Structures are given as C-alpha cells and as structure tokens.
Structure 1
C-alpha cells in the first residue's frame, strides 16, 4: 500500500465497501431464496404425497366397502352369484369369488366343489383372512394367466354371526397406478409404490417391478423403508440421473408405501436463474459505483494535486525559497498550502542566518587546528619515553608471575592427587563391601535354585502318578467299551461315554508327557544356574582380597603426596611475596603509561575533531549556498 497513491487508495476503499455490502446482500438473498425454495418443494411434495395416499386409501376403501356389503349376504342362496357379478362390475374387479367352509367355491360360473382338485380352503387368501378374521390385502403378485401385477382383498363371510367362508376379489395394480398417476406432481417427477419389505410393486419403469428399492436408489436399504416413512422427511438421494428428492408415506389400511420423487436440479432451476440475475445486477452496480467514485475523488483532490506539482517545482529549482504555492480554496487542502508557504518563509530566514554562521565557524576551526597539532607532537614524545620504562617493568613482572604460576600449578596438582587418592580409598572400601554383598546374594540365589530343582523333582513325581492314573482310566474305559459292545443297542450310550473317557485319558497322558519334558528342562537349567552361581561366588571372594591389597597401596601413596604438598606450600609462600612487590611496581608503571596513552589519544581525537569541524563548516557553507535566498 506504500506505493499506491491517495486517489487510488480512496477508490479502492470505497469500491471495497460497496463490494462487501453487495456480496453480503446477495449472499443473504441467496440463502433466503434457497430456504424458501426448499420449504416450497417440501410443502409441494408433502401435499402431493398426502393427496395421492389419501386417494389410494379412498380407492381401497371403496373396494373394501363393496366387499363388506356382499360379505353380509347369505352365500347359500342362488341370488348370491348374481350379486357377485354385480359387485365385480361395480368395483371393476378382475375376478370375485368366495370359498365356503365345506370347500365349495362360488364364482361367476356358479358353485363348484373340488373341481380339478381345487380347494379354496388351501389358498393363501382364504387362510390369511380366516386367520385374521378381518379384511386382508395380499400381494401384489404376477397373475399366472394375464401376467399382470395383481393383488387380492379378502374377508370372512358372516351368516347369523358365524363365519361361513371367505369372500375375495382380484384387482389389477395397473388400474390403481393409473388412478394415482393422474395427479400433477410437476416436471421430472414420478410416483411409485413399495410394500413394507421395500419391494417395488408399481413404477413407470415396469422392469423395476418386484425388484428391491435399492435397484432404484442404491443408497436406500429395503429394510429401512418403514422407518423412513414413519419419519415423513424429504430425503436427498444421489442417482446416475442426478440428485433426487424422495419422500415415503405409509398408505393406511394397507401394507404399501407411496413414494414421491422430484428432481432437485429442476426444482432449484428458478432459484439458480434468480441468483444469476442478482449477481449480474450486483456486478453492474459495483462497476458504476467504482466509476462514480473515481470521478468524484479526482474532482475533490484537484487542489491537492496542484500543491504536489508546486512542491516538485521547488525541489527541482535547486532550493529556490522565493517560490510560493498559490491557492484560492478555503478547505483543508487550501489550509495545508497556506501553512506550507509559512514554513518556506521561516526556512528562508533560518538558511540566511546559517550561511553567516558557517563562515565564522570555518575561521575559528582553522585557528584551533594549528594549536592542536603543536600539542599533539609534544605528547607523542612523552608517550614514547614512558613506554620504554613500562616495557622493562613488564618483563620483570611477567617472569615473577610465571614462577608463581608454576608453583601454584604444582601445589594444585599435588592437592588434586591427594584428593583422588582419598577418593580411591573410599571407592575401594565401597567396592569391597559391594563384592561381599554380591557373594551373599549369590549364595542365597544358589539356595533358591536348589529349592526350585527340588520342587521340579516333586512335580515330576506328581506327573508320574497322573500318568499311572491316566493309564488305569484308559484301561477302565476300554473295558467299559467292550462291555457296552456286548450289551448291544442298550449299551450304545454308555459306549459313547466310554470312548470320551478314553479320549480324555489319552489327552491327559499326552499333556502329562509334555509337562514332564518341560520340568526336565527346568531341572537342567536349575543345575546349570547353581554351577554358575558357585563360580561367581568364588570370583567375588577373590575380588574382596584384591580390593584389600589395593586399599593398602593407595594409603601409602596418599602419605607421600601429603609430604610433597607441604613443601609446595612453602615454595608458593616465598614466591607470592616476591610477586606482590613486582605487581606494585608494574601497577605504578601501567598507571603512568595509561595516563600518557590517554593524553596521546585525546590529542589525536582533538586534532581529528578540529579537522572534522573545519570540514563540516565548509560543507555547511556549501549547502547553505545552494539555497536561493
């Protein structure tokens, strides 16, 4: 942003504000339209599904009513056949029939009894209606004769309060589906029927009939259709043909589910078109506002740009302080120009005074430079003589310090050796004690291993006893099996038990052998561990003896080192006294040389500062001369 002009910054900020506002309004509008569209689709699908399911319920109810009316008529009268025909035509049934409890079948062709072995009492519609004692709906199923999808409704026949048989009627599903497809569901939408097991029973694509619903919607398991229908929610399902919105509704008085499918892209098309129009309008408004702001900013910043050009002229005119900015505006920009003119006037006065001061400063700096140079030569001569004396004293002090350093190092080494010897004695004592403890623990561990070996031998004895018992059990089981075989059929069960007992005794014997092999391995390992621990105990005893001898030798070394330490301390005291005297002489000499060095350094700095002052005076006069005053 540093390299961008004020004009561009103002335009960018204004357009950014318009852009954010337009984007926010468009986003809110899109969200609101999307919400309203989804609610509208949901309401329309709910309305269609409720209307169609109600239509199916009424259609079924009318069929049930016809059958209920006929079920109360006496079936043993000849007029009943005529009533069957009238009911068939009135209800548009494919077929209507009745089966009596004695096996008689009543149909449009009259009464028949066991013709071609047909017994209505063995048919599913008769059995289910008789079992439930109420109206039942069976199917749909494919009719063997017409190959049409057909379903059956049936209910008991009543006479004087008694069930005398079952009356049923067949209906083609095509007629029902024709009824429901007459409802207006919208573009790219369809209706279909499922049973409670998730099997498609009616669909525009007849190849899907009697197929599971996941052949239509892969992500919809057949086992969940009843749950989804109970939730009554609009599902969003992805299909190869695009995203579909599906709702399932339970049809009352039946085992059917009505499905309503609409295409999401079709339903959202109007929303997308509206969003495109809003975005286009927003872009147009954004461009118009950007152009308007650009023109307005250029008009408002005219005086400011004029002042910038005037400043450029002053800078390009080699510091001409006689120029001023002309302005007639009384706004903030005009006030800035007036204040700038006042600033230039003040600067003109300051530069004039500065030029005279620079001339006087140059004359004074030349005089000071001459005096400083004379003092510097005298101080350098004094510094040379002082350095010669200091060098000689430095050599004497260095020699004394070297002697003292060597004596001190010797004393330190002796003390270190003495300390290490004492630490060695302590460490040998600890090692001796540790080895003794190790020997004791090895002895204890050896005893534990011996006890382990004894326990293993005891376990081996127990295993031998178990092996003998298993052999006796095996013999007893074998004898029992022989006796069972002699007993024939009566002893078969006992023979099975004897075989199982013998099998268990054999498995016991096998397991006992495996355990015995493991215990033998444990005994062998225990004996080897005992031998190793005995050897380790002997080594530990020898280590104790060696540690005692090492402790004695270290004590002798410590005594000798103590005597050397005493002599070193005496030598160090004498050398320290000599070093103190040398350091005092060296310190005094260094103070003298330091003072001489400081004087020489100050003289050089003074000479250098005088030269810089003279140079600055010349530069100041030169720079002040650049301004036109």
Structure 2
C-alpha cells in the first residue's frame, strides 16, 4: 500500500471515527429520548383518564352514601315486599304501592331521572325485601341476600364498595355496582342500597383517546378482566388468560414491548390506586422511533458527506507530501539501473526532512563505495588462502581414510569376539535353563514318588483291613454253620416227634384224626426246614471256601504291596540324588553364564568404543572432505566476489 493511500485512509479515519462515535451516542440518546417521550406523553394521557374515571366513581360513591342516609331508607321495615316465596318470574309493583315502599320507589325514580348514566337504583333488606328502579321482574324465589352485591356490602358495613364489572345482556352494557349498607328500622345494617352504572360512556371515552397516530388504550380490572380494548372491542369483558400468548404478556405490568398480530408495540402501564384498575397504553414502536430513525438517516448522510470531503483533502495533502519522495525514488531507480554506478549522487534541495534524507543517502553511497573497494582487496586474499586450504584438506582426507580402514579392521575383530561370547552366554543360559527344567522334573518325579508311596501305604492299610474283615467273615460263616447244624438237628427231632404223634393219633382212632392232620403238617414243615438248612449249609461251605481263597489272595497282595513300598523308597532315594546332581549342574551353568555375560558385556563395551573411534575417524574423514569442498567453494566464491566487485564503478 502506497504512502498516499495510507495518508488518505488516515485523514478519513481521523474524521470518521470521532464522528461515528458521536453519531452513535446521538442516535442512542435520540432513541432513549423517544422512549422517554412515549412514556411521558402516554402517562400524562392515561393519568388524565384515570383522574376522570376516579372522579366519576367518587361521585357515584357520594351518591350512594347520600341515598343510604336518606330518611325514607332509614324508615325501611318489614312491610316491604319480598319475593322469596314466588314460584315463577314475578313483575315488581313497588310503584303502585302507596305506603313506604311506594315512597322509596318514587325517590329512586326521581334520583335516577335526575342523574344520567345510572342504570339501576335498588334496595335489599335483611329480611329479603327488594325494591328496584326502573321496575322490572325478578326470578322465582328471588332473595337479594344471596346476591354478590349484597354480600360484598355486608362484608364492609358503613363504607361504599364497588363490585367487579359484569356484562348485562338485556341492556347490552357492562355494569358496575356501587353498594353500601344502610341503617333502618331493621338494624344498623338493616339493608344494602346500590347504584348500577353502565360503562358505555366510559368505554366510548377510552376508545376516543389516541396516543399519537397508532396508539390506543386498554382498561383492565385487577384480576385481568378487560373492560375496554379500544382496537379490538371483541376482547371486551374477556380475561387476558383467555387470549393469545401475546396478549397474556400484558399481565406483567413491567413489560415494555409486546408483539400483537405481527406488530411490535411499546407498552406503558399505570395502576389506579383508588380503583385497582390497570390502564395500558400501546403505540407502534415504528411510530415512537420515527423521528429518531429520520434523524439517524440524516446523520449517516452527513457523516458520509464529511468522509468524502476529508478523503478529497487527504488526497491533495498526500500528493503534495509525496511529490519530493517520488523524485528521490526516480533518482534511486536510475542509480539501481545504472549497473552499480556508485559515483552518482542525489540532489539536495531544501532543509526539510527529504533534504536531510538525500544528504544522508549520498553519504551512505560514499560509504558503500569505500566498502566495495575494501571487499575487492579482501577477496583477492581470500582466493589465495582458499587455494592453500584446498591442498591441506586433500592431504588430511587421505590420512583419515587410512585411519578409518585400520579402525574398521579392529572393530570387525572385536565384533566377532563379542558375537562369540554372546553365543557362549546364550548356550550357558540355555544349559542353565535345561538344568532348571531337569531340576523341576526331578522335583516333580520325587513328588510323584512320594505320592505313590503314600497311595501304596494307604492301599496296604486298606488290604490289611480287608484281610481282617475276611477273617471275621470266615469266623461268622463257621458260626452260621454251627447254628445251621443246630437247626437241622431240631428239624430231625421235630420230624420224629411228628411221626410219633401220627402213630398215637392213629391209635386214638376217630378222635385223634385232627391231631394226625396237625402232626402231618408239622412233619412236612420239619422236612422243609431240614431241606432249607441243607441248602444253607451248602451255600455256607461255598462262601467259606471262597472267603478262604480271598483271604489268601489278600495276604499275597499285602506282601506284594510291602515289596512295592520298598522299591518306591529306593526310587525316591535315587530321585533325591538326581535332584542334587541337577542342582549342582544348574549352579555351575549359572556361574558359567554369568562369566560369559560379563565377558560379553566387556567385549560389547570395547566394541562400542572402537565403533565410536571408527565413527570419529569417519567424521574426521567427512570433515576433511567438507573442508576440501568448502575450500574449493570458498575459492569459487572469492572468484565470483571479484567479478561482482569489479562490476561496481568506484
């Protein structure tokens, strides 16, 4: 970027930045002032409306107090008509009554006709009597004491109160009741008198008030019930909560902006301390900011005009300032294109900074000329020195090559020795590992032998127990044979006795027939017992023979077990000897492996040192080559420097 361009930018920036800052502050203040003006103007308008409404309802309260204290109402008693016993809608006829009730109705009529805007004047007593102007009809069983207006007044006796607004369809109007208790013949709070007023006039008043061109008012009760929406009358007598989310934002008294039907409105809300109502003023944000936006556009145009003017001034100043510099630049270009003519000089005109620049540059050229002369002299000496250094570097390179060859031979020999010692170390390590494996196998074999000894000894013990059991079994078999012989003898005796009994029964003749039958049965039983005993004897003989055979076999097995135990014991002793020998071999292998490893480490250390020497020799050789190359390059550079210096005119 040229100096002229930079100066133009600087001039424009110097003027533009402060103006932009000032413009931003002014625009911000204008917008704030527009908002403040909106709040001030709308608050004034709404305060006037609020005062008018407050005065209007204060007058109604005074009228209610006046009616409640009227002598006619204070005379009200139980003679007034009640409608609690009616079975259907009934027309009131208080105006035809010539007693106290008629007087009260005519007073209500006079008051209503002389005070415009009052929809109803009425009285309800503690006994349920009811008088109303204008006359109308009441529903079946009508009891004023159950009505909200009556209960509201009774909750605050002796003081006028307002009820919430409600829509009365027969009159197509929004009604607000102002009620108050009255003292009469029935007691200190013997009844409630009320005035109903229509809000039609109030609604029309609020509708007619405009805030600017697009602003309007909304009047809400404390519970959010909309009394008046000047822009959308269809919202009247609806709760904010029943409308869209945009309208529900108005429930927050602190909201300052709201978007309704796609249009952004500024919002100002005031709450009447006397009425408890909220009055909301809304005006389109574009209207509030209209003057500020117009001023913003004007300021931006002014800033752009000033910026253009400052750019023109900056361009003129920059041209005046850079013209001498352009002349100096042209002369420097001539010097640069004059093939190193150091004899030329810049013209020195004036005593300003540019004149000083030209003078100092001429001195600089003189210094450069002297420097070039000295460089030319030095380059000649450098060329001679580089020729000598090249020869010395060549000789040093040859010596380093011979040294490198010798070191390589020594390094190779030590490398082989290190490899041999490494192999020995590995073999010893392998032998030590094999010895460890043999030692472990010997220990495992010994553990197996010990386990076998224990198992054989246990088996021998079990065989001995089996021999003893078989011996006891043989003795039991012999005892059973003795018992069997006894049973056999008893059976023979029984058989003989049965035979004798049969003979005796035969002798007895017919009387001994039954006994003969029993004797035959006993003899048959004895014969079967003898046969069974004989079979048991044969089985016991066989069992005894087999038991004896098993006993002899067990005794043979016991002897064999004892011999096996002796053999295994000998094997265990042999394994102990093998394990000791393997352990000794393992220790010797470990010692050899350690010595071989130490030898290998020493050889490796020597080999590393020889390699380091070899590397140093290689480095020396490489340095010698580089020195030689550097000397040759230095000679070439010296030659080139002589050529370059000779191109300058000194």
CA distance in 2, matches of 1:109, 1:392: 140
Relative to structure 1, the CA distance from residue 400 to residue 220 in structure 2 (aligned partners, 3 Å threshold; closer, same or farther) is same
Relative to structure 1, the CA distance from residue 83 to residue 14 in structure 2 (aligned partners, 3 Å threshold; closer, same or farther) is same
Relative to structure 1, the CA distance from residue 82 to residue 114 in structure 2 (aligned partners, 3 Å threshold; closer, same or farther) is same
Mapping 1:206-225, distance limit 5 Å: 206-216=233-243, 218-219=245-246, 221=248, 225=251
Relative to structure 1, the CA distance from residue 72 to residue 554 in structure 2 (aligned partners, 3 Å threshold; closer, same or farther) is farther
Deviation at 1:623, TM superposition (A): 0.7
Contact 2:342 2:366 in 1 (8 A): yes
CA distance in 2, matches of 1:162, 1:606: 131
Contact 1:97 1:169 in 2 (8 A): yes
SS in 1 for 2:346: coil
Which residue of structure 2 lines up, in the alignment, with residue 495 of structure 1?
A: none
Relative to structure 1, the CA distance from residue 129 to residue 613 in structure 2 (aligned partners, 3 Å threshold; closer, same or farther) is closer
Of 197, 204, 209, 1:178 maps to: 204
Mapping 1:186-205, distance limit 5 Å: 186-204=212-230, 205=232
Relative to structure 1, the CA distance from residue 50 to residue 403 in structure 2 (aligned partners, 3 Å threshold; closer, same or farther) is same
Deviation at 1:281, TM superposition (A): 2.0
CA distance in 1, matches of 2:71, 2:182: 8
Out of 313-322 and 137-146, give the one that drifted further. Answer: 137-146
Residues matched between the structures, number: 485
Contact 2:39 2:268 in 1 (8 A): no
Deviation at 1:267, TM superposition (A): 1.3
CA distance in 2, matches of 1:357, 1:385: 37
Relative to structure 1, the CA distance from residue 572 to residue 69 in structure 2 (aligned partners, 3 Å threshold; closer, same or farther) is closer
Which residue of structure 2 lines up, in the alignment, with residue 147 of structure 1?
A: 172
Q: Unpaired segments of 5 or more residues in structure 2? A: 76-99, 444-571
Of 270, 277, 280, 1:259 maps to: 280
1:533-580 per-position Cα deviation (integer Å, ceiling 9, x unaligned): xxxxxxxxxxxxxxx9xx98987654322133445678899x89x989
Out of 30-39 and 339-348, give the one that drifted further. Answer: 30-39
Relative to structure 1, the CA distance from residue 234 to residue 202 in structure 2 (aligned partners, 3 Å threshold; closer, same or farther) is same
CA distance in 2, matches of 1:379, 1:249: 104
Contact 1:235 1:247 in 2 (8 A): yes
Q: Which has the larger radius of gyration?
A: 2
CA distance in 1, matches of 2:151, 2:233: 30
Deviation at 1:612, TM superposition (A): 3.5
Of 405, 412, 420, 1:403 maps to: 420
Of 132, 141, 144, 2:156 maps to: 132
What RMSD over aligned residues (CA atoms) do the two structures have, in Å? Answer: 4.7
Deviation at 1:342, TM superposition (A): 0.7
Deviation at 1:195, TM superposition (A): 2.5
Relative to structure 1, the CA distance from residue 165 to residue 349 in structure 2 (aligned partners, 3 Å threshold; closer, same or farther) is closer
Deviation at 1:348, TM superposition (A): 2.0
Relative to structure 1, the CA distance from residue 570 to residue 201 in structure 2 (aligned partners, 3 Å threshold; closer, same or farther) is closer
Contact 2:124 2:191 in 1 (8 A): yes
CA distance in 2, matches of 1:339, 1:249: 80
Which residue of structure 2 lines up, in the alignment, with residue 513 of structure 1?
A: none
Contact 1:173 1:202 in 2 (8 A): no
Deviation at 1:39, TM superposition (A): 2.5
Which residue of structure 2 lines up, in the alignment, with residue 29 of structure 1?
A: 26
Out of 386-395 and 614-623, give the one that drifted further. Answer: 386-395
Out of 270-279 and 388-397, give the one that drifted further. Answer: 388-397
Of 120, 123, 126, 1:95 maps to: 120
Relative to structure 1, the CA distance from residue 369 to residue 174 in structure 2 (aligned partners, 3 Å threshold; closer, same or farther) is closer
Deviation at 1:261, TM superposition (A): 2.4
CA distance in 2, matches of 1:241, 1:370: 92
Relative to structure 1, the CA distance from residue 558 to residue 289 in structure 2 (aligned partners, 3 Å threshold; closer, same or farther) is farther
